[in-house]
Amino acid sequence: MNFDGKVALVTGGADGIGKALSDVFLSKNMKGVCLVDVNEDKGQETAKAFEEKYGAGKAKFCKCDVTSSEQLEAAFKTCVDTFGRLDVACNNAGILNEYKWKLMVSINLNAVIEGTYLAVKYMGTKNGGNGGVVVNTSSVVGLVPRQYAAVYTASKHGVVGFTRSAAFEPDVVDNGIRVVAICPMAVETEFMAIAYEQGSKYTEVYRNEMEGRVPRVKFEELTSAVVQLIEDKDANGSINVIVPGKGSKSIPPPNLNL
């Protein structure tokens, strides 16, 4: 898919990875981006900054808690009503809070599942849309174990398993939708700092063992990997790990010869 004149919806679009993705989408001449986020102040601020940079009417902020089915569907509907179409859905909002683990699973996994099926409903060729691409944000810990964040790790493994499977569901394929996921290593956002303050059980372990020693994926490395996945018409069910300084690589599922 090329980006010209297309429309994206990005959950967690007010900040961090979602904001960086939205910025790149608009820089590639997308018609508009819908920033879907629970943080109203940041969301309005980011939408305003994008309109100043790319022109009036290019960014729409939708206040939405992705754990609410009603609010998430309303955001998809607002996006199509505002821009007239939808082509790319990034299910990206996420938190790391091992103490609030049921909420974390709702945001990191359930909302990714719900967002994928809403994308089929609002982009599907059988439903009046043009088809499109769903990009789900997992993590490198969607592929490997991480003993310091067991539920976060489980939620991200769930995103990988769901993406690999949903990509080949008949209702998804027959609607002209591709589904892919990214598995970044630590990225240059405030995410880990927020996790330290609010939801990491092992803050001292992180500080003693890792603080300052974990290189960050730069936004440019992450966004170029996502752009490639969107542009590549053969990328479906792809799970791409993104490593600082090493780019993006597709990770196939194990062949168990069952």
Ligand X SMILES: NC(=O)C1=CN([C@@H]2O[C@H](COP(=O)(O)OP(=O)(O)OC[C@H]3O[C@@H](n4cnc5c(N)ncnc54)[C@H](O)[C@@H]3O)[C@@H](O)[C@H]2O)C=CC1
Ligand Y SMILES: CCCCCC(=O)/C=C/C=C\C/C=C\C/C=C\CCCC(=O)O
Binding site for ligand X (CB under 6 A): 11-12, 14-18, 37-39, 42, 64-67, 92-95, 107-108, 137, 139, 184, 186-187, 189-192, 194
| Cα–Cα distance measured from residue 108 to residue 92, given in angstroms and rounded to the nearest whole number | 8
**CA distances, 211 to each of 36, 141, 198 (Å):** 31, 18, 17
Nearer Cβ to ligand X, position 189 or 236? 189
The token pair that represents 198 in the structure block:
């609010």
CB 137 within 8 A of CB 182: yes
Residue 202: contacted member of ligand X, ligand Y, none (CB under 5 to 8 Å, by partner type):
none
Nearer Cβ to ligand X, position 113 or 186? 186
Q: Residues touching ligand Y: how many (CB under 6 A)?
A: 16
Dihedral in degrees, nearest 10, Cα atoms 163, 168, 171, 175? 90
Packing angle between helix 150-166 and helix 111-123, nearest 10 degrees?
A: 20
Options 152, 196, 202, 206, the catalytic residue: 152
Q: Which of 1, 80, 192, 251 binds ligand Y (CB under 6 A)?
A: 192
| Cα–Cα distance measured from residue 9 to residue 74, given in angstroms and rounded to the nearest whole number | 12
Residues 79-138 that bind ligand Y (CB under 6 A): 96
| Cα–Cα distance measured from residue 183 to residue 214, given in angstroms and rounded to the nearest whole number | 16
Q: Is residue 218 part of the contact set for ligand Y (CB under 6 A)? A: no
Q: Is residue 211 part of the contact set for ligand Y (CB under 6 A)? A: yes
Per DSSP, the three-state class of 247 is: strand
Residue 146: contacted member of ligand X, ligand Y, none (CB under 5 to 8 Å, by partner type):
ligand Y
136 phi and psi, to 5 degrees?
-100, 135
Nearer Cβ to ligand Y, position 17 or 75? 17
Q: Is residue 148 part of the contact set for ligand Y (CB under 6 A)? A: yes
Is residue 152 annotated as a catalytic residue, yes or no? Answer: yes
Q: Is residue 140 part of the contact set for ligand Y (CB under 6 A)? A: yes
Report the interface residues with ligand Y, using CB under 6 A.
Answer: 96, 139-141, 146, 148-149, 152, 185-186, 192, 206, 210-212, 214
Which residues form the catalytic set?
152
